Structure 1
């Protein structure tokens, strides 16, 4: 199994002191170092860097139930898990059986409010990332590094750390912009315990774009950094995502810019993994397709994060098929909504590797959300390697969460090109270029063992096709809510799915739900914040 060398359990005391006042953090480990101790050596800087990355995978410095966010449960504040819940359970992709679990019922029924604990967990964990990043940047100025006697190659490497941390902070603000539409804005230039002013989407967009453009030339080239650390492609991917969704975020289309960033990522040397499902196995760290992942290790990072929840959750209640995936399972926690299954209807998908659902004797319709025997189950993710070797732990998996991968870049390029050349939501325009068709068909051939049996022609490709193809390729990877909003099929749209709007057959809801409410606790702690309309 892979070794996660850069995630350290020790996080500086300064990190805990510098978090924004809308949340409290506590040091729960006697091994926590003081800033002077931690930042006195090059190795200490790498440990601190590990804290910034580690906040995306870990919740605290203790066991899987620990959290350094005081008063917030680890299970409702792990970054990958919260992100996955918000982008997936709120859509047509999945349901969670155990509605007594805090906050889940309101998310999957689209009845959430500003008191939802998962929203508080996501808001707090993401702003903690900003705080931890800011602290690293305060401690890593060239002047301060030099004053500590660190010079030469060590100082140069710390400069790379510093630039990576700026990208991680930009990524945090990107998530705040996407999910909440606003955020308290704080940088390393602000004092500790500063209540940041509220930045709206336009302000956040401008900051993230400016920051990433400035830092990209100073990052390591794509695929040259050690596994788990970001490079130029990660930063380019954030920009590509922003540009694809710019019409939603700032009311201005930026499709040409999206295409340009996608092309830069593609030129970085990533290659489609021959076997689609190898991207979702315990040794997916070896995949040539993955651009950035949230790391998971059955020994080193035990927590109930995204892939641990997904893989244990996809085990069927009656099938008890956890041995297929190297886990025990959570008793049928996750099931597929009917509409995502129907994306694979038709003989063209008979041999499609992406069609992994298991039907058996199960009904496709879910009439009771708490009935784990209703609805098909998925078999996409696994805690086994490509060679079939199970992970070291049957609960906490070794499978990294594929946050960004090349297949998504191909589809983003094609969609952006079509929109730039006249395709619109609800329209039938078929303007996919030869390049776009090539990218789409590369994914289709990969899904069909290299055979062109399911390749498409320009006359078959419009935007309705594109959003369905994104669902087929990227389901359960945390993109669906964002995609549905961009295609006007979420709030304010007329596309319904099972239990949308808390109705078994689905019902429309208003566009106010296209952003989540700010948590009550966060608004109470920072008087600069205002609630989103409709909440």
Structure 2
């Protein structure tokens, strides 16, 4: 892979103890002591933990799947996380009729939904891999293997990264599912099924865990591309603190201000000059990206991830060659609710509005008809110079999980919600930096009187649409179920409110049956 950090593929040496009904394949017969005779295996194992966000097995794009009970392309971590953050909201619909897929936009998913099962399994597969890495890198294990001092020095940072990745997945777990199975490296493989921890308990664990590893993880801007550093940790802290009132009932907005200030004040990151370049094949050189999931058309092949996000929105009169691919999948579009957040054609143009309208209607009469609803051409398999990616099937663009533009928006929201340590004038300045990029001049600037929470929610959509933030944002603003309405929400063309219990996904029915320690979320 043409990235500084290359994903290694190492045989899995663990069992996913959280998912008690999970069919894992393949299982290695290689013992840990044999594998780690080569000290480079520690780095390769960490790489495998990272790659779990991007790939689906030991061979790409399919074959030797990590989870054999699910369609491999469907089970991709990023693909499923994206779908639950976007297809359940006003930002995306999909034309396909796969069983359970339409349930996401219809808000009628059940505990038997295969996509609920897929994201659940992926989250805890990641947790299990991180746990096993931590088990294999204790001081006792390193002593018994005679690991060199040089490698031990690296492993301290590796362990912090593994704990960060575990925290990232546990955050996704409490955000999507609420009360979840909880286990660490302290729970032996093959022991009793994990207990179910409350959302607040896991939140508190993550809060203390991220503070504990801050000094061990590589300094901001100093790690290899695609690996977490201190700035990625601060962004994850900011996400937790900004949503703390949802997760625990207690606000942590001052802590959110402090975390975003650490990112911003580091001086390491700056806004990408051209917004569109954030989503192209050479976005790995962007000064705005803080933590990305790397993809490479030759070395990180998957039918999920960026392959999905680049191919699925292309269809109709769109020429796939323009987007660096060999064919569109006629799937993803957006609703008029997102379109209406941008200026009309008669007004100033917001450069972030990457809508394809030729042959497409703004309003959707049939979700299954690709021509209904504007297409979005945000993610493309071409470079900023217009050159196609290395492979026309699998994209080279990386997914921007954390970036500076989001830090600006989180800072502004946390200040508006009463967080101390910041000020509104600075918040307005950050918002206007984003809008100056969008408009090309100062015509889109706002005054301090314009900055309120309604504006922030809309501006987050304009800046971050299709970047897997929308569901979490709508829930935080109490607009996801009972109070929010958009086209085709609830399987009604005009949209309708839905039941508040759908702010959480269900625990898969198979897991409830397999683990007596688990209780189902209310309403399912």
Is the TM value for this pair above 0.5? yes
RMSD: 1.8
Q: 2:437 aligns with which of 446, 463, 478?
A: 446
- Once the 2 structures are TM-superposed, how far is the Cα of residue 348 of structure 1 from its aligned partner? 9.0
Provide the residue aligned with 2:466 in structure 1: 476
Give the total of aligned pairs: 520
- 1:490 aligned onto 2:480: yes
Q: 2:141 aligns with which of 125, 144, 155?
A: 144
Matched residue of 2:127: which SS?
helix
Contact kept? 1:491, 1:514, Cα under 8 Å: yes
Matched residue of 1:263: which SS?
helix
Seen in structure 2, the aligned counterparts of structure 1 residues 531 and 275 have a Cα distance that, compared at 3 Å, is: same
Q: Deviations over 1:278-299 (max 9, x none)?
A: 1100111111111111121111
Provide the residue aligned with 2:118 in structure 1: 121
Q: What does 1:181-200 align with in structure 2 at a 5 Å threshold?
A: 181-194=178-191, 195-200=193-198
**Gapped regions of structure 2 (runs ≥ 5):** none
Contact kept? 2:133, 2:162, Cα under 8 Å: yes
Following TM superposition, the consecutive aligned residue runs of length 4 or more in structure 1 with deviations greater than 6 angstroms are none
Provide the residue aligned with 1:56 in structure 2: 53
Provide the residue aligned with 2:22 in structure 1: 23
Provide the residue aligned with 2:281 in structure 1: 282
Provide the residue aligned with 2:457 in structure 1: 467
Normalising by structure 2, we get a TM-score of 0.96
Matched residue of 1:113: which SS?
coil
Provide the residue aligned with 2:11 in structure 1: 11
**Gapped regions of structure 1 (runs ≥ 5):** 423-430
Q: What does 1:214-229 align with in structure 2 at a 5 Å threshold?
A: 214-229=212-227
- Once the 2 structures are TM-superposed, how far is the Cα of residue 484 of structure 1 from its aligned partner? 0.6
Structure 1 distance, partners of 2:3, 2:352, is 29
Q: 1:525 aligns with which of 514, 518, 522?
A: 514
Structure 1 distance, partners of 2:315, 2:4, is 31
Provide the residue aligned with 2:43 in structure 1: 46
Contact kept? 2:365, 2:372, Cα under 8 Å: yes
- Once the 2 structures are TM-superposed, how far is the Cα of residue 410 of structure 1 from its aligned partner? 0.2
- 1:234 aligned onto 2:236: no
Normalising by structure 1, we get a TM-score of 0.94
Q: What does 1:50-449 align with in structure 2 at a 5 Å threshold?
A: 50-66=47-63, 67-99=65-97, 101-194=98-191, 195-268=193-266, 269-317=268-316, 319-346=317-344, 350-420=348-418, 433-449=424-440
Contact kept? 2:74, 2:304, Cα under 8 Å: no
- Once the 2 structures are TM-superposed, how far is the Cα of residue 75 of structure 1 from its aligned partner? 2.2
Structure 2 distance, partners of 1:41, 1:61, is 20
Seen in structure 2, the aligned counterparts of structure 1 residues 421 and 47 have a Cα distance that, compared at 3 Å, is: closer
Structure 2 distance, partners of 1:205, 1:252, is 11
Structure 2 distance, partners of 1:184, 1:368, is 39
Provide the residue aligned with 1:425 in structure 2: none
Q: Deviations over 1:489-513 (max 9, x none)?
A: 11121x2111111111100011100
Contact kept? 1:79, 1:126, Cα under 8 Å: yes
Q: Deviations over 1:405-435 (max 9, x none)?
A: 110010000001001169xxxxxxxx97110
Contact kept? 1:20, 1:192, Cα under 8 Å: no
- Once the 2 structures are TM-superposed, how far is the Cα of residue 18 of structure 1 from its aligned partner? 6.0
Structure 1 distance, partners of 2:107, 2:338, is 17
